[in-house]
Structures are given as C-alpha cells and as structure tokens.
Structure 1
Amino acid sequence: MKKFLFQSVMGILFGAFMAVLLTNIIYFKGADLLDGQLFLKNSLACLFCGWFFSVTPLFFEIKSLKLPLQTALHFVSVAILYFILSFSVGWIPFNLKSALLFAGLFLLIYACIWIGFYLYFRNEAKKLNDDLLRI
C-alpha cells in the first residue's frame, strides 16, 4: 500500500508537470488567451494519465504472476485507460483512421519501452549473477 501511494503521488506530480509544460508550449506558440475550461479538462486528464501510468507498473511487482501475464495485464489496463481518456478529452479524434493510427503508434512505443526495460533488467541480473560467482 505504501508503494502504491508513493507511485500515485509521483505519477500525479509528473502529470502536473506535463500539464504545465504543455500549457507553456501552447502559450509560447502565440496563443494570447487560454480557454479556462479546456485548460482544466486537459490538466486533469494529464494528472489522471500520470497517475495510471505510474501505478500500473505495480503489476510487475506481483511475483506470483509470470512475465507474460504481468505484461498482458499492464498493457490491457494502460491501453484501455489511455484510449478512453484520449477519446473523451479529445486528444485523439474519434474516427477510425485516427484510432488505428494512434493504436499502432501506442503499440510501437509500448513495445520499444518494454524491450528497453527488459534488456536493462536482464543485464542487471547478469551483473548480479556474475558478482555472486566471483565471491
């Protein structure tokens, strides 16, 4: 529970950082005024997005589950939450072409990040095992 709360706070803070960063990018692109309602909707969406992207990796902490099941649970939960949020907020236009394009992009980015983490942790395990053999 302690780790869940810590991850939640970190995710919400990261979401807030992203909301401020994106707002500043839009503001400095020449927008004179910001729509308050749109700002609030997008900021809350960034907070929620930061939260669920930071707590769903806790599936990988459940040692009783095998890696393929952990990955499947994480992928399905993140994909469902992200696409519901994206369509409802308007980050992704609600049409088939956009949905397929962003689903493919999401899958590609997810696979790259997953492979990167897998290779990193496999390398760390190899280093630890090599150190144990030297003792």
Structure 2
Amino acid sequence: MKTFLFRSMIGIFFGAFIAVILTNSVVLFSEKDTLDGALFLKNSLGSVFCGWFFTVSPLYFENKMLQLWQQTILHFVTVVILYFLLAFGIGWVPFNVPSFLTAMGLFLVVYLVIWAIFYLYFKRQVKKLNDELELL
C-alpha cells in the first residue's frame, strides 16, 4: 500500500508537470494570447490521471506470483483501456475507426520500444549481478 501511494503521488506530480510543460509550450510557441479555461482544466486533469495510471500500473511487474508474459498482458490491457477511455473522453483521439487504429498502432510501437528497453536493462543488471557473485 505504501508503494502504491508513493507511486500515485509521483505519477500525479509527473502528470501535472507534463501539463505545465505542454501549456507553456502552447503559450510560447503559438499565436494564442489566451487559453480556454475549460479546455485547460480538462487537459490538465487528463494529464494528471494519465501520469497516475502509468506510474501505478507497473506494480504488476512486482507481483512474483505472475510470469513475465502475464504481467505484461495485464499491464498492457490496463493501460490501453485506461488510456483510450481517457483519450476518447477528453478528445485527444477522435472517436472514429481510422483515428483509433492510428493511435493504437502508435501506442503499440511506443509500448513495445519501452518494454524492450526495460527488459534489456534489467537483463543486463541481472548479468552484472551474476558476474559479481561469481567473483565472490
């Protein structure tokens, strides 16, 4: 529970940070002098929620009772459902088939790249630890 709460706080703060960066980018790099308050609130809360579930959902990978493929499937299904509900609800992705397929393809590519990077990193860490154990 302590880990869940800690990660929740980190995710909420990270999502808020991303919202501030995106808002400042819009103000600095566009011709807009004012922002729509309702749109700002909707996108900021979406960013905060997105940050939260992307930092809490990796807790699946800490469940030792599940195999890696089960952890990965559970994590993927969780983040896909939550992200696309959020993205359709807020309007980040238009609610039509071509937009969904494009967004899903992009999401899948990004997910696979990030998953592979983490997998290779932890595989390297295990090899390093095993090599150090052999020296003892």
Amino acid across the alignment from 1:65: L
Runs of 4+ deviating beyond 3 Å? none
Find the counterpart in structure 1 of residue 101 from structure 2.
100
Amino acid across the alignment from 1:99: F
Amino acid across the alignment from 1:44: L
Shift of 1:30: 1.8
Q: Deviations over 1:1-37 (max 9, x none)?
A: 1110000000000000000011011111221110001
Identity fraction in percent: 59
Find the counterpart in structure 1 of residue 129 from structure 2.
128
Find the counterpart in structure 1 of residue 27 from structure 2.
27
Find the counterpart in structure 1 of residue 48 from structure 2.
47
Q: Over aligned residues, Cα RMSD in angstroms? A: 0.5
Shift of 1:50: 0.3
Summarize the alignment of residues 1-135 of structure 1 with structure 2, pairs less than 5 Å apart.
Answer: 1-28=1-28, 29-135=30-136
Amino acid across the alignment from 2:9: V
Which segments of 5 or more consecutive residues in structure 2 lack a partner in the other structure? none
